[in-house]
């Protein structure tokens, strides 16, 4: 049986009225669509098709591939759809931020402002698929339907009834990856995205993503996806660049 069939599935019946909608126990005034993109997400390569199928059927998806393969767009767009359709209670997006604490301290603004540039790719997809007002509502701390935070803030957390995306996973260590994956509870879809060719960890430190790709294999709850240069759909120039720099 398809995983999402086991979830409570209820779509919004009217997106353009100020009706009262129920969001996981929190009542809020319904919001207009805000030009929300509701177009169907269609795979453009066979690997993308397997990736999307894995997201629908599996609990843990580990995906590695270079820029432009659609990992971030597909995972964030499908997460937005799951939240809108009430299949999950919340979306959690995290990624490691490899920058000295003292450097971040000199940046203006609060934590959200400081880390916003790191999460812009995912935020832009959520904005497109959810609409501005609904996304901002979900991001409010007292609502907590969408949480975007650095990986360091995930320590000690347990996630349930959520769609969790770990982006730039090549920059977490083996111990950090183990900590992250062992905090996952019930009814969770976990997507671990990264590009092992872009690891920024210190020399001699093994990437947690590389290690996970070796430890895990496809089974009834796990799917391991490998994108390659042929899966680049960003642009012809991007694909040509990847081919030019491949060893």
The domain spans of the chain are 3-245
pLDDT in tens, 6-16: 544 434 333 33
pTM: 0.80
Residue with tokens 């997106």: 15
Q: What per-residue confidence (pLDDT) applies to 111? A: 59
Select the CATH number that applies to the domain covering 3-245 from these four: 3.40.140.10, 3.40.50.300, 3.40.50.150, 3.30.360.10. Answer: 3.40.50.300
Say if residues 43 and 207 touch (Cβ distance below 8 Å).
no
Q: What per-residue confidence (pLDDT) applies to 68? A: 84
Q: Which residues of the chain have pLDDT under 70?
A: 1-34, 98-114, 234-247
Q: What per-residue confidence (pLDDT) applies to 13? A: 34
Cβ neighbours around 106 below 10 Å, total: 8
> Which of 54, 83, 81, 7 minimizes the C-alpha distance to 192?
54
Q: What per-residue confidence (pLDDT) applies to 170? A: 96
- Kindly state the helix (H) or strand (E) to which residue 191 belongs, with its residue range: strand 188-194
């Amino acid at each position: 049986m398809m995983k999402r069939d086991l979830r409570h599935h209820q779509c919004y019946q009217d997106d353009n009225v100020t009706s009262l909608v129920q969001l996981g126990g929190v009542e809020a005034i319904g919001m207009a669509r805000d030009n929300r993109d509701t177009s169907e997400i269609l795979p453009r390569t066979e690997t993308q098709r397997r990736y999307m199928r894995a997201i629908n059927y599996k609990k843990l998806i580990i995906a590695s591939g270079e820029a432009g393969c659609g990992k971030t767009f597909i995972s964030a767009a499908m997460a937005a759809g799951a939240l809108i359709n009430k299949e999950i209670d919340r979306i959690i997006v995290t990624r490691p931020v490899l920058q000295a604490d003292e450097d971040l301290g000199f940046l203006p603004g609060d934590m959200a402002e400081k880390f916003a540039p790191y999460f812009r790719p995912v935020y832009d997809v959520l904005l497109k698929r959810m609409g501005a007002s609904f996304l901002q509502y979900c991001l409010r701390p007292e609502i907590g339907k969408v949480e975007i935070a650095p990986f360091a803030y995930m320590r000690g957390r347990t996630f349930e009834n959520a769609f969790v995306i770990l982006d730039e996973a090549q920059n977490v260590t083996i111990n950090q990856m183990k900590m992250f994956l062992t905090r996952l509870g019930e009814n969770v879809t976990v997507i671990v995205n990264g590009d092992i060719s872009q690891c920024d960890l210190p020399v001699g430190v093994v990437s947690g993503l590389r290690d996970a790709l070796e430890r895990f294999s496809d089974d009834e709850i796990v799917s391991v996806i490998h994108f390659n240069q042929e899966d680049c759909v960003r642009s012809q120039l991007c694909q040509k660049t990847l081919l030019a720099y491949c060893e």
